[in-house]
Amino acid sequence: MKGRKKGEQGFGKDAKEMYKVLTDPNICAIRPENVRLLTDGKGTSENIKKAVVELGYEMKKADEPEVEQSDDDGEDDANNTEKGSEMEEFLQSCVPRDSLLWASSRSYEPSRVEASAEDRVSVFTKYVLTGLRGGDTLLKQRAQAVGGIPLNFLQDYVYTKVTEELAGQTPSICGQAEKTYWMAYPPED
pLDDT in tens, 135-156: 999 999 999 999 999 989 999 9
At 104 the pLDDT is 87
* Residue numbers of the domain that contains 57: 2-184
Angle of helix 137-146 relative to helix 151-165, nearest 10 degrees?
170
Sign of the Cα pseudo-torsion (175, 70, 90, 94, in order): negative
Which of 144, 189, 140, 158 minimizes the C-alpha distance to 18?
Answer: 158
Range with the lowest mean pLDDT among 22-26, 36-40, 57-61, 155-159? 57-61
At 145 the pLDDT is 93
Flag whether 189 is in a domain: no
Dump pLDDT digits (tens) for 44-55.
778 877 877 777
At 177 the pLDDT is 62
Flag whether 162 is in a domain: yes
Diameter of the chain measured on Cα atoms:
46
* Contact between 41 and 65 (Cβ < 8 Å): no
Q: How many domains does the chain have?
A: 1
**Which pLDDT band, with edges at 50, 70 and 90, does 80 fall under?**
very low
CA pair distance 72, 76, nearest whole angstrom:
8
Indicate whether 82 pLDDT > 60. Answer: no
Kind plus residue range of the DSSP H or E element containing 121: none
At 70 the pLDDT is 54
Q: CB-based burial of residue 6 (10 Å sphere; 0-12 exposed, 13-18 middle, 19+ buried)?
A: exposed
Flag whether 58 is in a domain: yes
Stated pTM of the model: 0.70
